[in-house]
Structure 1
Amino acid sequence: MTSNRSAHAALILVDVQPDFMPGGALACHEGDAIVPGIDALLRARRFRHVVATQDWHPPGHVSFASRHPGRAAFERIDLYGQPQTLWPDHCVQGTAGAELHPGIDWSALDAVIRKGSDPAVDSYSGFRENHGPDGSRPSTGLAGWLRERGVDEVVVCGLARDVCVLWTAQDARELGFRASVLWDLSRPVTPTSDAATRAALLEQGIGIV
């Protein structure tokens, strides 16, 4: 790790998976554009700790529009008292679209946090699942893993900037970590969300790098 990053900082790579790339099941706007930059960043070994999150849904997941007759992808419903976007079937466990992107050298990776494995609960953040039937947001264990290694700052990038990257950075801040987002190494589902995403990050004191 080079001296330009604190020894107490970790890089979190959110859902850099083929299903979120153009041609994938849930394509983000220009999602593939971040792959070369993330590969170069990992090869540079600038961070002592590197974690990837991986969307990892069972077939028939509650967030899939196909699970809800008469509903279409990107509609919103009420689920456990919270708004839930219905998504196209994506990142189904064991499929090629759910794998970490093959165009990246992942050898610097220390840990992978698989999320969204509960068929009844969605999971955007790398730190906590979305609200479940009991109203709680169960931990993924990432916060404890980072604290055990002395990490107090996280730098987040990946997909999608307006959903899982945003939620991961927000949860990091709420859980006591300093947080920033690498804007150029993230992409949104749709760029119309960018202004709202920037405002949400700045409101919580999350850096935009």
Structure 2
Amino acid sequence: MRRDFELRSKRTFLLLVLAGAVGVAGALGGTWLVADHPFSHHASWSVAAFSTLWAGLLVVSLALGLLRVRTQSFPLARAALLGLIGLGIAGAFGTACPDPHFLVWWTSTRFRDQLATTAGLHGSALCLGVVATFLFAAMAAVLASGTEGTTAFASILPAVMLLLLLSPAIALQSVGLPLRVGVFWLVGTAVGSLFGVTAGMHVRKAIHG
């Protein structure tokens, strides 16, 4: 029994080290991806603050997923897995985006430019958050295992995890913009996360019966 306990402790320690290393590396990579600001140079404090926050969120999420942490009411590991997959999908789309500032790219297309003219930059940010995050969340929910539930409650925790993991990037890219633009972007991201996860869970349930 003691040997079994030591083996489990060693495995837990190694998984925590792995979560820490991958979390820090992921945060640095993500910060490098979104830190190129077209309006003005970021203050050093903002890059340091948001990359540190991102690293912490990634480490915690990876630890929850790798250690399969769960309670009877809250499947934390599944929610963390879905959030990490959604973040990875968002990162893949981000590297393919022709403009390092996603809101600038969003408002540069014809329809979105008209939207920005009509609803303002904050309205365009809200729309970007809803549309983009809905896509990321739906794809993640289809790919993530153990997300066959379709109730609104089953979608809330994974949606919150995805929102938390995306929020440092949104906050960093909102530096230098009016406060309400960042707030509307986050609100749109929250709405897109919830409805995207719910839609993806329905699709996954239909696929797997």
Output the TM-score relative to the length of structure 2.
0.35
Answer with 1 or 2: which has the greater Rg.
Answer: 2
* Greater share of strand: 1
- Larger fraction in helix: 2
